[in-house]
Amino acid sequence: MIDYSPFWQTLKTSKESTYTLINTYHISSSTIDKLRKNKPLNTTTINDLCRILHCDVQNICRYIPSDRDELL
């Protein structure tokens, strides 16, 4: 499972907020909701968040093995 808790920590220590992500950088509120609920995001969105927050991918998300993952 992809976990976005690093994003929330990174956001907390940055000068940005969900308000500025939505209103200044035009990140959709549905994307913010996906981050809250650990729903899938595309890599373009992750790239945009890294650019906005001046961080690396590991500051946005991490992989956590889960029993709920689909079988490959």
The pTM is what?
0.90
- In what helix (H) or strand (E) does residue 24 lie, and over which residues does it extend? none
| Model confidence at 72: pLDDT above 90 | no
| Model confidence at 69: pLDDT above 90 | no
Here the tokens at position 66 are: 């889960």
Tens-place pLDDT, residues 14-39: 999 999 999 999 999 999 999 999 99
Mean pLDDT of 2-10: 97
| Model confidence at 53: pLDDT above 90 | yes
| Model confidence at 71: pLDDT above 90 | no
Largest CA distance in the chain: 40
The C-alpha R_g of the chain, in whole angstroms, comes to 12
Task: Show me where the domains of the chain are located.
Answer: 2-63
Task: For 2-63, give the CATH class.
Answer: mainly alpha
Instruction: Give the Cα separation of 4 and 38 in Å (integer).
Output: 6
**Count of CB atoms situated within 10 Å of the CB of 6:** 16
